[in-house]
Amino acid sequence: MTAERTPFTDESPERTRVGVAEFAVASGDTRLTTSGLGSCVGIALADPTAAVAGLAHVMLPDAPDDDRGKPAKSVEQGIKVLLTELEDEGADLERVEAKLAGGSQMFDFSGISEAVGERNVERIHATLADRDISVVAEDVGGDYGRSVELTPETWTLKVSSTHQGVKNL
């Protein structure tokens, strides 16, 4: 796990910030957060029965030749490490489901970087389908950025953006 844990206060839940190309797994009322989801996608996976969930901030649909030690840089690798860690923390992989946020088209590029967000979302759907994991909610696409906060205990993914406000998935 490469995320940074920071407690709010003695009375508030712990918060773990997940950076770009990173992931984290938690249980109970620990909050997993990530920001800066433009073309990147926040993949939340959980076993709601076990109240164990994880969040990966993936950048690319395909693995680059050099991932520079970032465990969740690509869709396939991000999902793989997240599922391994979820299972290690007591999740039953047959009960795991997914929620997604991000995958925007932030800039009008032509060429190789075109539609990275859309390609990320397509690859995530295909990779999860290959593992029989259902996407139960998503807030993807558009042309604006998002931040997310995942609460394993309630299996709530709060998606925030300046353009769309706050949505609970």
User: Where are the strands (E) in the chain, listed by range?
Assistant: 4-7, 14-17, 23-27, 31-37, 41-47, 52-58, 97-102, 134-140, 146-151, 156-161, 165-168
Helix 116-130 / helix 75-88 crossing angle, nearest 10 deg: 40
- 130's CB contacts (< 8 A; 6+ apart) are none
Beta bridge partners of 153: none
Catalytic residues: 40
Distance CA 62, CA 37 (A): 17
Instruction: Give dist(CA 118, CA 113) in Å, integer.
Output: 11
Task: Enter the tokens of residue 63.
Answer: 């693995």
